[in-house]
Structure 1
Amino acid sequence: MLNAAPPFQADPDRVVFDRQELSAILSVYGRFVAAGEWRDYAMSFLRDVAVFSVFRRATEHPLYRIEKRPRLRAAQGAYAVIAMDGRILKRGHDLRQVLRVLDSKLIRAVDQP
C-alpha cells in the first residue's frame, strides 16, 4: 500500500489570503476581466507579504498589486493597492474598502450623441 500525501497544511512562515479576502479580490478581478481590462493574475505568498498581481497581458509588468502585510495591521493597515509605478493608491484595515480605489478605474466616459 502506498502512503498517501498528508493533507494540505498552511505554512506558518508564509502570509496568505484567507477565503474571504480572496473572494473579495476575485470579485473585483472578475469585473475587470468582464470589462476587458485585465486578462491574467499571479499570487505570491512570502514570509512578510501576500501579493495578488493583475496584468493586462501575461508578458507585462503588473498593473496593480494588492498586498497584505500583517505587520502593518496596527499602524497603517494590513492591506494596500499599489500601482505599476510603485505609488500606494490606498492603504487600510478593511480590504473591501481598500479595493474600492479600483472602482474609479473601471468607470469609462460614455460618448453621448
Structure 2
Amino acid sequence: MSKIVRFLEYRRGVPFVHFTRSEMNSLLSLYSRHVMRGEWRDYAIDQSDGMARFAVFRSSFERPLFVISKQVKGQAKGSGASQNTVFQFTVSSGREKVAQGTSLLDVLPVFDQPLRLLRGSS
C-alpha cells in the first residue's frame, strides 16, 4: 500500500539550527572574559544533526571543558515556522549537564558563579 507524503514535510527533514548573531555575541563575550583570566585558550563551533555546539578548551590538545549546545525542543503554535520554534540550550561538562534552559541567557549565568574550594579530609 502506498503512503501519501506532503512535499513540504518531506523536504524539511532535520532542521538547520544555528546560533543567532546576538547569541554569538554573548558566547564570544563570555569566551573573551575567560581568555583574559587565562582559563580558556581555544573554542570550536559545530553544526550537525539539528544541533549547534560551541565548545571551549583549556588547551587545543584536550577535550572540551564545556559545550554549550542549542537544539530544537518543539514547535509553538501559530504562523511563521522560524518565529515559533522553541529551542533548548544545554551547558555540559564531559557527560554531566551543568545547566539547561530555553534561552541562552538562562544558561550562561552558570559561568558567573564563583568557584568553590573543596577541602579534603587530610
Q: Do these two structures clear the TM 0.5 threshold for a shared fold by scoring above it?
A: yes
Q: Which runs of 4+ in 1 moved over 3 A?
A: none
For 1:95, the equivalent position in structure 2 comes to: 104
Map 1:1-113; keep pairs closer than 5 Å: 13-71=15-73, 78-84=88-94, 86-104=95-113
User: Deviations along 1:35-80, whole A, 9 cap, x unmatched?
Assistant: 0000000000113210000000001000000000113677x95101
Distance 1:108 1:58 in 2: 26
Distance 1:90 1:44 in 2: 19
| 1:95 to 1:73, Cα distance in 2 relative to 1, 3 A | farther
Measured after TM superposition, the shift of residue 103 of structure 1 is: 1.2
Please, which runs of 5 or more residues in structure 1 have no aligned partner? 1-11
Please, which runs of 5 or more residues in structure 2 have no aligned partner? 1-13, 77-85, 118-122
Percent identity between matched residues is: 37
* Cα RMSD after superposing both structures: 2.4
User: Deviations along 1:65-113, whole A, 9 cap, x unmatched?
Assistant: 0000113677x951010012x11111001211201101125x588xxxx
CA contact (8 A) 1:80 1:89 kept: yes
| 1:28 to 1:108, Cα distance in 2 relative to 1, 3 A | farther
Distance 1:73 1:17 in 2: 17
CA contact (8 A) 1:77 1:91 kept: no
Count of residues in Structure 1 that have an aligned counterpart in Structure 2: 95
Q: What amino acid maps onto 1:100 in structure 2? A: P
| 1:46 to 1:68, Cα distance in 2 relative to 1, 3 A | same
Distance 2:106 2:38 in 1: 23
More strand by share: 2
| TM-score for the superposition, normalised by structure 2 | 0.69
CA contact (8 A) 1:48 1:71 kept: no
Distance 2:23 2:62 in 1: 25
